[in-house]
Amino acid sequence: MSRAEVFWINGPVLKAHSEGLFRMKEAVYVGRERLAAEVIRLDTGSITVQVFEDTTGLRPGAIIEGSGMAMAVELGPGMLGRMFDGLQRPLEAIAASQGDFVRAGVEVPNLDRDRRWRFTPLLKEGAAVVPGQVLGEVEETPAVKNRVLVPDGVSGELEWLAADEELRLEDPVARLRTSTGTHEISLLTRWPIRTPRRFAEQRVPNRPLLTGQRIIDTLFPIGKGGAGAMPGGFGTGKTVLQQTLAKWCDADVIVYIGCGERGNEMADIVSEFPRLEDPRTGRRLMERTMLIANTSNMPVAAREASIYTGITIGEYFRDQGYHVALFADSISRWAEALREISARLEELPAEEGYPAYLPSRLAEFYERAGNVVTLAGSEASLTAMVTVSPPGGDFSEPVTAHSRRYVKSFLALDRERAQARFYPAIHPLLSYSEYVLDTARWWQDHGGVRWAQRRERILSILQEQAQLARMVKIVGRDALPASQRLVLVCAEVMVEALLRQSAFSKVDRYCSPEKQSKMLELVDDFIRHAEQAVQQGVDPDLLLTLPVTRRLQRLGEDIANEELERFDELTHEVGHAFSSLAAGQTETPSQQVLPE
């Protein structure tokens, strides 16, 4: 292999003299400790590399050894349920070899070579096979079967296929006769992280990624195979929302990347996910989840690599015909890593010190999400949701601004809502989704009666509320006419009933589509009644004191997904409360009588 000798050291960036052949983005190893690194610049007689590990103590003269291969991940069973670092090294194994702290120079295999997997063949020997075709499967976890595929670019006749037997990663599983000779396949493959994997055809996302979060599913749906961003200042609940989506969304496989964030958060996922149950399959959430952790105090270059590692693994599962959801928290930390390396290379900065290629790198990343037909012809998708951490909560900064150009689902998190402990703190007037039309069709087919109209009505009431709030600031609420106060009342009830959702309440954290439809219907009903009542002269503010209004505002927490029949009672009660109002016999609003 090619060798080079280090002569220049600046943090994680090294320059080395070399006459040997190196390629751009080639994986290399530095020094006796064999630190993982990657070639990022080539000059005649010298190379520049970025090191993914701590370079403390590194001296000029250290030898860099080429690998002849691009930075790649290992693909095969053994990833789900586990946590890896940004270079896909299993943190469990690192702990076993290094103890409680992560140190430089660790050499552990990315995937366990010794573990045996029960293989089930799904084809017959002699069959003609094409790229992406499923040869057989192993049960990676009880929730997900890992399908063994014919590699991209290989087709021919299946000469031999392993029987129903226990296999290790590197054991041969199949042999193909191709036009150029024979091709042996094992459970383990490799793929360069910066190269997207191929598929047969891409389609526009045509159904929602159901998240169980009302404000998302109802107002700002995420398309399966789409890309979305969640920007928000610190403390607005990005991470909690991101984790909530990772828990309850209806994807088959979850890739969760902690990119430059807190160590305690990753520890929290590891301790919580194995205890939670997927509401659709009843399996443990951890069985469909793989984690990548590059915490904020881990080496910065590995943070840059971590999102590519994650999305490549996401594509691997997508190619098996799964709907994959990838979550990266936060893309801003990735961009900062890019900026730091760029600064050390003394590249000319563009906006706010970020390199000029930031937008194109962002675009490349977001475009790896997609709703596709795999090489083998099955429908699959990879959805990418990222959080953005804009400095000072300012959405005009480069990472937010450029992300907006490529994502179709934009969930803006609002500091004021978060401060009032109103979660999820998604600002309904600053957020948007371009997946509404396609999603409306899905809801139509799945019991969401008049979903699109109801959604529009909610948004228009919220819009009106925002305008009226400005009026109130000038003239006071009591000075508004009844019809306008009615809008405020409806908005308040709707916001509390539908948009507020507690991620920590066992009942409320996941809201099934059926329950969402019911809630939407009920709130719609309330608004209709309220309009009639106010027309008949009832004071809108009186509506807020009705006991049934309070019940409506606590729907999420008080009625479980399994108790949908209670909605019928409530509908009845709403009707009853309003007819009593009309008859002039108001119910006693609350136990306590207001002092006059």
Partner 1 sequence: MMDPRQHILHRGLTSIRGPLIFMRNAEGVGLYDRVEVLPSEQDDPRLGRVVSISGTTAVIDVFQGTEGLSLTGSRLRLLPEPILLSVGPGMLGRVYNGVGEAIDGGPSIVAEQRMRIDGEAINPMRREVPSEFIETGISCIDAMNSLVRGQKLPIFSGSGLSHDRLAADLARFARLRASPDLKFAVVFAAIGVTFDTAERFRSEMDEHGAMERIALFLNLASDPSAERLLTPRVALTAAEYLAYHEGRHVLVILTDMTNYCEALREVSSSHGEVPSRKGYPGYMYSDLATIYERAGRIMGKPGSITQVPILSMPSDDITHPIPDLSGYITEGQIVLDRELERRSVFPPIKLLPCLSRLMNQGIGKGMTHADHPAFAQQLYSSYALARQLRLLSSVVGEEGLSKADRRLLHFGNRMDREFIHQEDQRRSLEETFDIGWTLLAELPDESLIRLSDAQIAEHVTPRRDDTAVTLQD
- Examine residue 537 and tell whether it contacts partner 1 (CB under 8 A): no
Question: Which residue in 74, 252, 315, 336 binds partner 1 (CB under 8 A)?
Answer: 336
The contacts of residue 595 (CB under 8 Å, 6+ apart) are: none
Question: Which residue in 558, 566, 573, 575 binds partner 1 (CB under 8 A)?
Answer: 558
Which stretch in 211-219, 233-241, 437-445, 455-463 sits in contact with partner 1 by CB under 8 A?
Answer: 233-241
- Examine residue 340 and tell whether it contacts partner 1 (CB under 8 A): yes
Question: Which residue in 103, 118, 405, 528 binds partner 1 (CB under 8 A)?
Answer: 103
Which stretch in 94-102, 310-318, 440-448, 568-576 sits in contact with partner 1 by CB under 8 A?
Answer: 94-102
Question: Which residue in 472, 482, 564, 582 binds partner 1 (CB under 8 A)?
Answer: 472
Cβ nearer to partner 1, comparing 161 with 552: 552
- Examine residue 421 and tell whether it contacts partner 1 (CB under 8 A): yes
Q: Taking the complex as a whole, how short is the minimal distance between the CB of residue 52 and partner 1, in angstroms? A: 13
Question: Which residue in 30, 148, 251, 266 binds partner 1 (CB under 8 A)?
Answer: 266
Question: Which residue in 282, 474, 537, 584 binds partner 1 (CB under 8 A)?
Answer: 474
Q: Taking the complex as a whole, how short is the minimal distance between the CB of residue 545 and partner 1, in angstroms? A: 5
First and final C-alpha spacing in the chain: 89
Cβ nearer to partner 1, comparing 84 with 451: 84
- Examine residue 306 and tell whether it contacts partner 1 (CB under 8 A): no
| Buried residues in 159-168 as b, exposed as e (16+ CB within 10 A) | ebbbeeeebe
Q: Footprint of partner 1 on residues 380-399 (CB under 8 A)? A: 389, 391-394
Contact string (CB under 8 A) for partner 1, positions 9-48, x = contact: xxx-------------------------------------
By three-state DSSP, how is residue 202 classified? strand
Cα 586 from chain centroid (whole Å): 48
CB 489 within 8 A of CB 553: no
By three-state DSSP, how is residue 14 classified? strand
65 C-beta neighbours (distance < 10 Å), count: 15
What tokens were used for 310? 């994650």
CB 367 within 8 A of CB 295: no
Q: Taking the complex as a whole, how short is the minimal distance between the CB of residue 253 and partner 1, in angstroms? A: 21
Cβ nearer to partner 1, comparing 545 with 561: 545
Q: Taken in order 307, 309, 313, 319, is the CA torsion positive or negative?
A: positive
Cβ nearer to partner 1, comparing 333 with 368: 333
Report which residue type is found at 428: P
DSSP letters along 128-181, please? EE-TT-EEEEEEEETTEEEEEEPPTT--EEEEEE--SEEE-TTSEEEEEEETTE
- Examine residue 594 and tell whether it contacts partner 1 (CB under 8 A): yes
- Examine residue 357 and tell whether it contacts partner 1 (CB under 8 A): no
Among residues 188, 157, 161, the alpha carbon closest in space to that of 174 is found at: 161
Counted residue by residue, the chain has a size of 596
Report which residue type is found at 429: L
Burial zone of 422 (CB within 10 Å; 0-12 exposed, 13-18 middle, 19+ buried): middle
Cβ nearer to partner 1, comparing 296 with 378: 296
Q: Taking the complex as a whole, how short is the minimal distance between the CB of residue 79 and partner 1, in angstroms? A: 15
- Examine residue 243 and tell whether it contacts partner 1 (CB under 8 A): no
Size of the site for partner 1 (CB under 8 A): 90
Q: Taking the complex as a whole, how short is the minimal distance between the CB of residue 77 and partner 1, in angstroms? A: 20
Q: How far apart are CA 438 and CA 449, in angstroms?
A: 15
Q: How far apart are CA 394 and CA 416, in angstroms?
A: 14
Question: H helices within 261-388, ranges in order?
Answer: 263-272, 300-319, 331-344, 358-366
Residue that has been written with the tokens 């103590």 in this structure: 57
Question: Which residue in 448, 496, 512, 567 binds partner 1 (CB under 8 A)?
Answer: 496
- Examine residue 579 and tell whether it contacts partner 1 (CB under 8 A): no
- Examine residue 586 and tell whether it contacts partner 1 (CB under 8 A): no
CA geometry: angle 320, 408, 317, nearest 5 deg: 10
- Examine residue 499 and tell whether it contacts partner 1 (CB under 8 A): no
Question: Which residue in 4, 64, 87, 91 binds partner 1 (CB under 8 A)?
Answer: 91
Which stretch in 177-185, 231-239, 276-284, 372-380 sits in contact with partner 1 by CB under 8 A?
Answer: 231-239
- Examine residue 447 and tell whether it contacts partner 1 (CB under 8 A): no
Question: Which residue in 179, 264, 396, 585 binds partner 1 (CB under 8 A)?
Answer: 264
Q: Taken in order 24, 77, 105, 55, is the CA torsion positive or negative?
A: positive
